[in-house]
Chains A and B, each alone.
Chain A
Amino acid sequence: MKKFSAKPLAFSSSVVLATLIAVASTSPVSADDIKIGVPLSLTGPVAFAGTKMKDAMELAFDEVNSSGFLGTTKLVPVFADDRSNQPQGISVTQQLVLRDKVSAIVGYTASNICQASLPVAQELKTPTLQADCVVPGLNKIGNYVYSAVRPSDVFVEQTIDKLVAARKIKTAAILYQRDNPVFVNLQPIVAKAFERNGVKIVANEAVTSGGDSDFSAQLTSIANGKPDVMAILLFGGQVGPAMVQARQAGMKDTIFLGEQNFDSVEVRRVAGPNAEGSIFPSHWFAASPVPANVKFVKDYTERFKREPDTFSANGYNAVWLLAQVIKKAGSGDREAIRTAMETIGDMDTVFGTAGKTRFEDRQVTLTPFFFTVDKAGKAVPAFDKP
């Protein structure tokens, strides 16, 4: 793919548009607008991610509509705030489907809300592309529910394997958030991955709430074990403070290991020099030369005066994936969209190095990059290649 968005008058964009049309189905699209439900966590503990997703998704919807990607048809997003709360997630899903009569849903921010809400979308037979939830098992919910990201467990396991192979790692500790299914699920996986690599777990401490910012007791216990590496499995908003407090607790040389939420300008800004040397996997690489990604980073930065991060990329990418599915479906009919999800084949994406992905077992195929944070606070490829 050359570009996701195209400005009709620009020659280069026209070429891109032609490429996109060639890749996707040429089915005619309806002249009617298509309503898309966009449930996100815009308030509450996960709002730090949901608000970034919303900005990027608005950008993507604007690009889809202004580029004429769907002909004269416009996608009309109906945003809804699940307040980082499971019952509210179920409620907004029902509201979007039954009251707003959306053709499809794209969104969701937090894994626990995905776990509660996606079965509702399945029951109401509404094609849904979840954009940000990385807990395993969501692809087993049913044939209306697809994932635009992959579960984080395999990525983190691969990171541990590579880290242990590259460095002299003998001991490890885990600090995890007990209140969220992603981290509760990741904690034993991370422990097993360390043990499988012959690394001794010296401490395993839980944080009880997503609202906590005081990790002093847990980090004092962990520092006592002098771990070579500490896995920080916390909400993005907690990661930066945890890194600072860990250094203050005496872990001067400990490597911090995390999942995709480390890939955030905010985490690195809050942690400052304390983040140096951190290791994490991500399916998105801001500096990826994939043209769609270059355009995304440029447009996002210009529009919002800040750099995008993984959450922004997830939101942006999911809207464009859905746009391609709807193009293939040729209408806003829910059954047609679901069928298109099953049969679409290759899609253009901002993720990866090839700029292509497809649905396999109802989730996208992706290969992770592995990053470390350098002295300047930038995420740069770890190991020998990204």
Chain B
Amino acid sequence: MLLQQVINGILTGSVYALFALGFNLVLGALNILNVAQGAIFTLSAFVAYYLISIYGVPFPLALLAATVAGGGINVLLELLVFRPLRSRGGSAMSSLVASIGASMILISVAQLMSGAQVERFPFGTLPEIQWTEFGMRISFTQVLVLVTTMVTMAGTYILLNRTRLGKAIRTIAFDERIARMLGIPTVSVARWTFFVSGALGGLAGVLLGIMYNSVYFLMGEPYVLKGFAAIVIGGFGSVTGVIVASMMIGLLEVFSTVIGIGTFRDVVTFGVLFLFLLFRPNGLFGRDEEVRP
């Protein structure tokens, strides 16, 4: 049972990680806490659900389309909400408030689309294969989710550290003014940052929906707080930190149940967050803030 719970924890943590990576990208690069990421997570899951259940689109295509849709919705938010605020010199707080409003609108759209009912992907969307070894059960869906999240995490790491876009994002994160002086097209890079962030959130939403057989208009809400906790524990802006912290949260939640304190699993998670804020405010992999003259 213990091994099974470790797998459960890693699966939960891997979805947290995708969500939190997207969250972290916009926060780290543009200093915007975009809580609408939860709504994007939800809407993308619905996009995949409708494509599969109504139009019979195969799962891989629906997953791709929903991921792109997540990125697209976030770009729309950037264009309609965040860009106008930033161009007027709006503060981080005004962006946060605007993202709360955007989130409420998007969640209402999801509720209207679904009539507030829980949906599930049609049976047989993915092969219903289950392997049983060493007392563990692992399904094809779980393997697919695990592989997809691992590949995406690696891809995100490479994108940020080995590509020109990634370098541009990191430069903007360091200082947007300097990035402009260096000739980096900050507007376009910001847009791509929003796209990648939304795509990561969207991908996480579809994977969660297929893994737990549930697509619901409020499914993204718990992930906003968990994603934020992962960023704080992992360290703002750190890809490795967010991944490690997300896995940690997934495992903490599962092992709270194993040791019989499952009722308090959120207390455990946010208790750890509180301890980090007190004793290691820069998180596991965060660095002390550099003071630039």
Residues of A within 8 A of B (CB): 42-45, 47-48, 50-51, 178, 205-206, 208-209, 211-218, 220-221, 224, 237-238, 240-241, 244-245, 248-250, 266, 269-270, 272-273
A240 to chain B, nearest CB (A): 6
Mask of B214-234 contacts with A, CB within 8 angstroms, 1/0: 101111011000000000000
Q: Which B residues between 224 and 273 are near A, CB-CB below 8 angstroms?
A: 253-254, 256-258, 262-263, 265-266
Residues 84-123 of chain B: 1 if any A CB is under 8 Å from the residue's CB, otherwise 0? 0000000000000000000000001001000111111001
A205-B262, A237-B118 given. 17 additional CB < 8 A pairs? A43-B116, A47-B116, A205-B257, A208-B263, A208-B265, A209-B222, A211-B216, A211-B218, A216-B8, A221-B5, A240-B120, A240-B213, A241-B118, A248-B139, A249-B137, A250-B137, A266-B118
Given contacts A209-B266, A214-B12, A220-B8, contact A48 B214 (CB under 8 A): no
Q: Please, which residues of chain A bring their CB within 8 A of the CB of B257?
A: 205, 217-218, 221
B73 at the interface (CB under 8 A from A): no
- Contacts of B117 on A, CB cut-off 8 Å? 48, 237, 266
B213 close to A241 (CB less than 8 A):
yes
Do the beta carbons of A213 and B262 come within 8 Å of each other? no
A51–B1 touching, CB < 8 Å: no
Contact residues in A for B130 (Cβ distance below 8 Å): 248
Report which of B11, B111, B115, B216 forms a contact with A213, defined as CB distance below 8 A: B216
Q: Which residue of B lies closest to A249 (CB)?
A: B137
**Taking the nearest CB of chain A, how far is it from the CB of B46, in angstroms?**
14
* Minimum C-beta distance from B37 to chain A (A): 15
Contact call A216/B137, Cβ cutoff below 8 A = no
Q: Does B208 contact A (CB under 8 A)?
A: yes
A215 cross-chain contacts in B, Cβ below 8 A = 212
| A and B contact pairs by CB, cutoff 8 A, 5 listed | A42-B116, A216-B254, A244-B213, A270-B119, A270-B120
Do A48 and B1 touch (CB < 8 A)? no
User: Which of B1, B108, B257: most chain A CB closer than 10 A?
Assistant: B257
Q: Is the CB of A270 within 8 A of B1?
A: no
Give B116 Cβ to nearest chain A Cβ, in Å.
4
Shortest Cβ distance from residue A226 to the other chain B in the assembled complex, whole angstroms: 12
A272 CB, nearest partner CB in chain B, Å: 5
A215 to B137, CA, bound (A): 15
Q: How far is the CB of A233 from chain B (nearest CB, A)?
A: 14
> Among A42, A45, A206, A245, which residue has its beta carbon within 8 angstroms of that of B212?
A245
Q: How far is the CB of B179 from chain A (nearest CB, A)?
A: 38
Contact of B163 with A by CB under 8 A: no
List B174-218 residues whose CB lies under 8 Å from chain A.
Answer: 208, 211-214, 216-218
Neighbouring A residues of B70 by C-beta, 8 Å: none
Q: Are A206 and B9 in contact (CB under 8 A)?
A: no
CA distance A221 to B139 in the complex (A): 18
A221 in contact with B120 (CB, 8 Å): no
Contact B221 A48 (CB under 8 A): no
Q: Within 8 Å CB of B152, what residues of A?
A: none
Q: Which residues of chain B in 12-34 are interfacial with respect to chain A, using CB atoms and an 8 Å cutoff?
A: 12
Tell me, in angstroms, the Cα distance from A241 to B219 when the chains sit together. 12
Query: A203: shortest Cβ distance to chain B, in Å?
Result: 10
Q: Which residues of A contact B137 (CB under 8 A)?
A: 248-250
* Chain B residues with CB under 8 A of A272: 120, 123
C-alpha spacing A284/B217, complex, angstroms = 28
Docked-complex contact A241 and B262, CB < 8 angstroms: no
Contacts of A209 in B (CB 8 A): 222, 266
Q: Which residues from B are CB-within-8-Å of A244?
A: 120, 213
Give the distance to chain B from A281, nearest Cβ to Cβ, in Å: 22
- The residues of A that contact B4 with a CB separation of less than 8 Å are 220
> B11, B115, B119, B139 — which one has the most chain A CB atoms within 10 A of its CB?
B115
Tell me which residues across on chain A come within 8 A of B253, comparing CB atoms: 217
Contact call B1/A220, Cβ cutoff below 8 A? yes
- Contact: A47 with B1, CB < 8 Å? no
